[in-house]
Structure 1
Amino acid sequence: MPSHLSADRPAAQSPERGQVDSLITQTRRLKGEVDAVRRDAQDDTTDPRGRWQRALCDLALHQLDDLDAHLAQLRDGPPVPPAPPQTLPPGESLLSRVGSAEWNLLTDEAVWSPELHGIVGRDPSAPPLTLDELPSLVHDEDRPRLTAMVTGCLIDAKPIDGEFRVVRPDGEVRTLHMMGEPVLDAGGSTTSMWAVLRDVSELRRSQRAVRETRDSLHPRRHPARPEHRLAVEPREATPPPR
C-alpha cells in the first residue's frame, strides 16, 4: 500500500531486502513444522484434547499465512497501479484478504484498492463508498463502533485500530480489522483518512474453535451447592415442631 505521511512526519527507511527474505524463510519453515504437528495430532473426533490440539494448530497456521503475506508485501514495496478489473484473476489469495482505502475530506472523494472491493463483495468497477456511505455495508450492531472509530480519527486525530462486521451482498458476514490514521496538513488539520482493512474472518473462526475445544476439555459441572441450598432453605424456614 502506498505510504501516507502527515506534513511533519519524515519518510521511513525501507528495510533491507535480505533481512525480510530471511524472515520469510523462517516463517515458511515454521509453517511446515506446525503443519507437521497438525498432521500428527490425533484424528479421533471424539477426543476433546485432540480437537483442541488441531484447533490450535489451525489458528497458528492462519496467523503464519498472514505473516508470510505481509512480509512479502514489505519486501516487494508498495504495489504497482492495479490492472483493469476485468484482468484481475478470479478467486481469493492471501493478499486479497488485505485492502486499503483513502477518504479525502476536502473533496469527499474515496479511493479503494481492488482487494477491498473483493473483501466486501462489491464490483471493482463500482465507485468506492464515501465515509458517509460506508456504514451501509456494516452490520447493524457494529455501526456505532465504526462511527466512534472514524469520529475519533477525524476529530481527535486518533489512530484507528478496531474490528467490525460487514454484510456482503450475498448475505455472508465478514469480520474486518481496520487500522488507519488521519493525514494532516501543515497547520495540523485533518485533510484525509487512510486505512488498511484486513479480513480476519477465518482467524476469528479459528480462535473460537480453540476456545470451544478448550472448554470441552473441562466441561462445566452442574453446581450442586446452590440447588442444595434451595432445597434446604424451605426446611430451615419452617418452625420446628413443638
Structure 2
Amino acid sequence: MKIAVGGKGGVGKTFIAGGLAAYFAGSGRRVIAIDADASPNLALTLGLSADEASRIIPIAENKDLIQVKTGTGYSGVFRLTFTVDDIIGRYAVPTPAGVNLLVMGTVKSMGGGCTCPAHSVVKALMRHLVVERDEIVILDMEAGIEHVGRGTAEHVDTLLVVSDANKRSLDVAATICRLAKESDIPRIGLVGNRVSDPRHETAIRDFAGKYDLPVIALIPFDQVIADAGISGEPIEPSSSVALQAIGDLARNLEGNFNE
C-alpha cells in the first residue's frame, strides 16, 4: 500500500501523513515514510527531537551519495543507471514511532549549477520505494500543486488531498485533484482536517460534491494536538480525538486496499 498525502501548506498534511505512518507501524506493519516537502517536518511528527531532525541530510543534498551513484570521473557527465536499494538501509532514519524515515529534500534550480545527478537519484529512489518495495509507504508531498506536475506521486495507490474549510485551501485542493485525475492514480480522496463546526463540514462536503470526490475522512479539531504543538510534548493516541480519527482512516484505507 503506497499512499501520498498532499494539500496546501498549513492544512495539516504532515500531521495526517505522520499519524497514518505511526498507526500502521503500531499495528506491526513495516512502514517507510518519505518527507518530500521543501520544508521537512515529518521527523518531528514521528517523534524525533529538533536536534535529531536537524542532523538528517536530505538525499538530494547528500553530495557524497550523489557522486557515488552518478559520478563517472568526467566533468558534466553522469551515469543514468545505478542501484538505489542500498540507500534505504544506509540512510533511512529509525523514529520513535517505529517508522523508518527518508528525507528527500529539494532539487534546487539549474541556476545553482547542474542538478541533474541529484534529480536522477531522487527520482530513481522514489520509483523504487513506491513500485518495488513491500513496505507500506507514506509520502508527505510538497505543499501546493507543483509536485503533481512533476509526477512526485506517480505510481501510488492512493492520493489523499488534505484541506481545512478555508476557501483558499479548498481551491488548492481542487487544483491538485484536477491534475491528479489526469494521472493513473487509482484512488483520490479528500480528507477534511480541523473540523470544529458544522459549517466546516458543510463547506468540505459541498466542495467534494462539486468535484465528484469521496470524502474519505473528517478529522476533528483537537485541542490536545494544538497544545502539544506549543509544548512539544508527545501525544498519547487515546487522549486525542484527531489521532483516533486518523486510526479510523488508516483502517478504512487498508480495508479498501485489501478488497
TM norm. shorter chain > 0.5 = no
- TM-score under structure 2 length normalisation: 0.25
TM-score (norm 1): 0.26
